Amino acid sequence: MPETTRLRAAQFRWCRYALGKVRIWDMKRKMPARSGNFERARQIAGSN
């Protein structure tokens, strides 16, 4: 029983981590004009 709880906690942590990464990537993708290289940011967003 404690094993499944630990596994679920690990999955939850990974899910939150992934969601945070996606949110940061989305924010970067939405405003690439701040970095000055809009074209390159769009290429990177397209390749990933």
Output the pTM of the full model. 0.43
The position carrying tokens 């967003």 is: 45
Q: Give 46's pLDDT tier (boundaries 50, 70, 90).
A: confident
Query: CB 12: neighbour CB atoms within 10 A?
Result: 10
**Domain assignments of the chain as residue spans, ordered by start:** 2-47
Calculate the average pLDDT of the chain.
Answer: 78
7-16 pLDDT per residue, tens: 999 999 999 9
Amino acid 25: pLDDT: 84
Sign of dihedral through CA atoms 26, 32, 34, 35? positive
18-35 pLDDT per residue, tens: 999 988 888 877 765 555
b/e 30-44 (16+ beta carbons within 10 angstroms → b): eebeeeeeeeebeee
CB 27 within 8 A of CB 19: no
